[in-house]
Structure 1
Amino acid sequence: MTAADQTAGPARKSRAALLWLILPMAALGLAIVWLVVTNPLQRFGNGAPPVETLTFERTILSDDGIRVLVRAGGSEPMTIAQVQVDDAYWQFTQDPPGPISRGSTAWIHLPFPWVLGEAHAINIVTNTGATFEHEIAVAVPTPAHNATSLLSQALLGVFVGFVPVTIGMMFYPALRGVGRDGMDFLLALTVGLLAFLLVDATAEAFELAGEAAAIFQGQAMVWLAAAASFLLLMAVGRRQGAPSGVALATFIALGIGLHNLGEGLAIGAAFAAGAAGLGSFLVLGFMAHNITEGIGISAPLLKKRPALWIFAALALLAGGPAVVGLWIGSLAYAPQWSALALAVGAGAILQVIVEVAAYLMRSDGRGTTALLAPATIAGLTTGVAFMYGTAMLVKV
């Protein structure tokens, strides 16, 4: 066989592979064109109006009335014909005007003189007669966005996220020098608090996904985002073997930070709705709830002596996203994006649970037996119980 024949063989295989890739794509294109041109489904039409769905994503109350952001999810573009507020028809303006195509959004402005502290019901009627209701439980003015309000939100985010994590990490010197049982207890404590955050984040993600437009396929989105986050972080974390020390602490801080991002989105949304009821007691509850997170981040570092800037960076990674979440939630909140953030956080937390459990078994030296040791069980129970107890202070 000549050199030319040896070169021609792989070239022919490559062209054949490309051909078999193009043929099914071309067949799919032809099928789509035929379906659109001939419209074989029209013979099944019975005169019924198209399926229409409308999701309310945001409500703004100001001196000039009410504005609501709606997202269409019907089979065809839908046209808003009339709007009722408290059973009375009101003039409205729509931006952008005209029919709303599937998946698109539009702002509806109503010059309605809403009453502070009272409930109002909005009912949107389409040109097909379909109706979609939205309730404003308590009418309060939506806070205006300016430098002062953003600074106040940032300060709250610091107290909710960064400060408690930093306080928890300040226990580091006192925890150094603990024996094997003490180390097992602290690592299991970390697993316990992360397990609670995993359950909490997943439940909140599904709750928010249920409020999102059907087009986003909320439950599937949560499962897929969590799985993708978990697998991606596992692949990154295991590139150079199982993480430990600063690397493991970084993954813990990242998982906690993504969860705090989701919490910040929820708090920011409460600001945007003018229903933030965040008194001093509630802020203190958030701080108590998050202090253990700092201890969990410090646990893999007890056998090391990292520089002070590493602790500062870890605290910023874990607590800083709360500030970002507050800003995003107050400026551009939508339930599907909050659900997505929480799902990604849940996947990251699950990855950290796996890695911390593996690190516990390696550092203990007894393998899987260490998972059933009294110190491990005690730490796991303490972590879950503390997070559950302090969560009662922040659930309103």
Structure 2
Amino acid sequence: MASLSARWHRSLQEIPEADWERLVGEDAIPFYRWRWLTALEASGSIAADQGWQPLHLALRRDDDTLVAVAPLYLKGHSYGEFVFDQAFARLAADLGLRYYPKLVGMSPVSPVQGYRFHVAPGEDAGALTALMLRLIDDFAARNGILSCNFLYVDPAWQPLAEAAGCACWLNQQSLWSAQGQEQFADYLAGFNANQRRNIKRERQAVRKAGISVTPLTGAALTPALLEAMHGFYAQHCARWGPWGSKYLESSFFDALVDPELSAHVVLFSAHRGDPHDPVAMSLCIQDQQQLWGRYWGTREEIDCLHFEVCYYAPIAWALERGLQRFDPGAGGSHKRRRGFVARPLASLHRWYDDRMDALIRAWLPRANGLLLEEIEAINAELPFRAETPALGLSAADL
């Protein structure tokens, strides 16, 4: 460990792509790839003037070999995280503490499970995790930062961070799993009769409107299509006014034409003729195992079109491609009736005020227990057969 040096980077472009990719590995999900994160920064979507200052921590040996990295951001707000910590902010105010800025580890504006410190093969991941957390603690102390928060953590990395003193807070999201299904008819067969009729009716409503949905990916993506997708995204966000959560600039969508990125992008184009002249569109991200739903928008109000473009067509695509899981994104109790199971996701936290740390750690066991009870109750009422996820902790354990 004595031969290691630490460096904080205000841009991912300060770290060579090959070095970063060597650490994250070829099996890394798209949201932690160098080009995805760099596109967010280079487009101005994730930048200091947007309340996201990149502040990536890197460890190197004396020969400048990169051995570990932690994707981190100094945040001036809590938007774009989808782990809602407003209660923590209120507690800080009650204690006379400044809550912002805070350190956050995640793939920005993407509530996707998989955050971890990335460590070179052959290195001691546990020891390096503990070392990097001590460096983060020291940085926080020197700069008056109240907390560091790792969101949507990789379950394989979680024990290493908890062993080094991080506190676990559970939140809820949804997931569809194939569970042996091979085609859409298998998916439908898993529902009770009433919900099976509802899904057929919803899909029929879209067909009656003259709408077809075509998936487009890879080389089929054009700058014009991605520009249209940005338009749908911006229009949908604008519908919600100040709560619209519009984070991404048009130049981020322009960057998705890069073959290294477009291979992971799937646009579901809803159209009446030419798929390149869409009425509505959703954007999903894929790898070899999973699909993630991200954004959508429409220029017409068509009954059930949202369900078709954001759920049914992506599930059909996933089944055709042999993908095993579909994460539809944050929020939306309506997902439960369409094949998605509630699951707990862990975030890990460090607070640098003894009073705040003690109060929250005393509250967490009860809060996590109630969350697990809620998930069990939700999944007990699902209108389909499902293998509910292992919750890891039970209310009795807390």
For normalisation by structure 1, the TM-score amounts to 0.21
Q: Give the number of the structure with larger relative contact order, counting CA–CA contacts within 8 Å between residues 6 or more apart.
A: 1
Q: Which has the larger radius of gyration?
A: 1
Between Structure 1 and Structure 2, the one with more helix by share is 1
